[in-house]
Amino acid sequence: MKKKKTERLDDLEFRAKRQYGHRNVYASFCGTGKTYLCKKFPKKCIEFECWKYTDGDFPQNYIKDIRAKMGKSKYIFISTNPVVLKQLNKLGISIILIYPKNNLKKKYIKGFKSRGSSKDFINMLDKNWDKWLDELKKQDYCKHIVLNDGQYLENLLTP
């Protein structure tokens, strides 16, 4: 059986621009490399961290800022918050959902520990890992990219 090749983000961008007239929004699970990419390519990438918007008119304030950057940044990375995803879908925004395979939990937890994430965050992720990933798999209005072991967002960018 031939292994399915993971699509490159540049290819997805080209098709979205042609089909919808705007770029995609990339909802990527924590630990997949959003912050790393945004620091490495600040002119191409922007990240909207959901937790920064919870004090106030969430999710409207978060969605407003995302929409304001559409077309101004090549790659817009957001959280995988289901409330936000549903709202963006209602607005007709194309969403690419990126998350790791369920069996990579231990590796991701180890990565969060080594990067100094809080114990509360790590415990919450450890407790909810399968539930959250299984919920993401049910989002039928998004294109899904499931990351394999050792695969991160940077691997999806065309050099």
Q: How far apart are CA 147 and CA 154, in angstroms?
A: 11
Whether 46 is in a domain gets the answer yes
The CATH number that applies at residue 54 is 3.40.50
User: What integer pLDDT is reported at residue 10 of this predicted model?
Assistant: 64
Q: How far apart are CA 93 and CA 25, in angstroms?
A: 7
Region of 147 on the Ramachandran plot (φ > 0 left; ψ -120 to 50 alpha; else beta): beta
pLDDT digits (tens, 9 = 90+) for 7-44: 666 666 656 555 544 578 999 999 999 999 999 989 88
Domain housing 71: 9-146
Whether 2 is in a domain gets the answer no
Region of 67 on the Ramachandran plot (φ > 0 left; ψ -120 to 50 alpha; else beta): alpha
Whether 76 is in a domain gets the answer yes
pTM metric for this prediction: 0.84
User: What integer pLDDT is reported at residue 14 of this predicted model?
Assistant: 57
Whether 85 is in a domain gets the answer yes
Whether 31 is in a domain gets the answer yes
Of 64, 69, 22, 15, residue with least CA distance to 46: 69
Whether 153 is in a domain gets the answer no
Domain count within the chain:
1
Whether 3 is in a domain gets the answer no
Q: Is 97 exposed, middle or buried (0-12, 13-18, 19+ CB in 10 A)?
A: buried
Q: Hey, what's the torsion of the CAs at 83, 84, 90, 94, to 10 degrees? A: -130
pLDDT < 70 stretches in the chain: 1-22, 158-159
Whether 158 is in a domain gets the answer no
